[in-house]
Amino acid sequence: MTAKPLAGKTALVTGSSHGMGKATARMLAEDGATVMIMGRRQEMLDQALADLRAAAPDARIEAFLGDAGQQASACAALDAAHALDGRLDIIVSAVGKGVYKPLLLCDEADMLDEFRAEVLTAFFMIRYGAPMMPAGGSIVCVSSTAGGFPCAGLGPYASAKAGLEMLVKVAALELGKAQVRVNAVRPGFTRGEGTAGMFEDPDVLASFTDFIPMARGGESDDLARALRFLAGPESGWVTGQILAADGGQELRGFPDPNPLLDQIYGPEIMTQLRSGKAQR
């Protein structure tokens, strides 16, 4: 019987109670890794654990309830994952947020919340996870097309994702001699908890699918395959890279933002914003 490619490896996947994080955890487990999933909501985490164990019954899969955006919780999850088999080989930082709101309606809390969700979660995994990893370790983060292309209505999120991508590159540069790789996947328009409404609105959906060269939105497994590739030995000579998995969306960027902004905020609010009279 041929050994599975990740047999003997241990992985921690944050933001893995749903979506691409959950799908990535499944693929890692199916390929032989011991997997620790992490999420903030007990009910969703329990359901994810049950689903993953059913999908990969021969794998060891455990769950950790916590917030990867809080240092103590992030470190506790890393310790728990390492304790499973006395090693930690793979970290996938898949926590994400993203709220549509024009910059002139954002406040300090909006910026800080996005920075914590997108950047600090990854920083904690890199800062406190890398020292636990043997040579050959791999850290993979989830960025976004918005990290490389401006998208109206996503100022805090896009700014944080751009910061995340530079964090990935600096970490890869510094950790290269330790033989620990750091990369990121850049999803395009993908179905998820935060974008479900956009997929259900035919007009919004069409504005993206008509714009994306492959003419469809992404699904969790589309991104999980890219994350799994960067996590495993198949990408052993790849570090400091931002891999777009977006159906070709990067070739065009984002659709015209004005219809979306008008739909979300209405013409009266947009008129106020454009005239500089929005209430502080």
- Separation of alpha carbons 52 and 260, rounded Å: 36
CA 26 to chain centre: 15
- Separation of alpha carbons 135 and 5, rounded Å: 16
**What are the distances in angstroms from CA 187 to CA 4, 43, 178, 192, 257?**
27, 26, 28, 11, 18
Mind giving me the DSSP string for 83-102?
Answer: HHHT---EEEE-------B-
Cross-strand pairs, 243: 185
100 counts as catalytic: no
**What are the distances in angstroms from CA 64 to CA 196, 208, 244?**
26, 36, 29
Q: Which of 100, 128, 157, 265 is catalytic?
A: 157
Element containing residue 138 per DSSP (H, E) = strand 138-142
Give buried/exposed letters for 164-190 (b at 16+ CB in 10 A, else e). Answer: bbebbbebbeebeeeebbbbbbbbbbb
Which tokens is 216 given? 């469809």
Which tokens is 29 given? 């487990």
Q: Let me know if 142 is exposed, middle or buried by CB neighbors in 10 A (0-12, 13-18, 19+).
A: buried
DSSP state of 218: B
Judge whether 16 and 39 are in contact, CB under 8 Å.
yes
Query: Which residues are identified as catalytic?
Result: 157
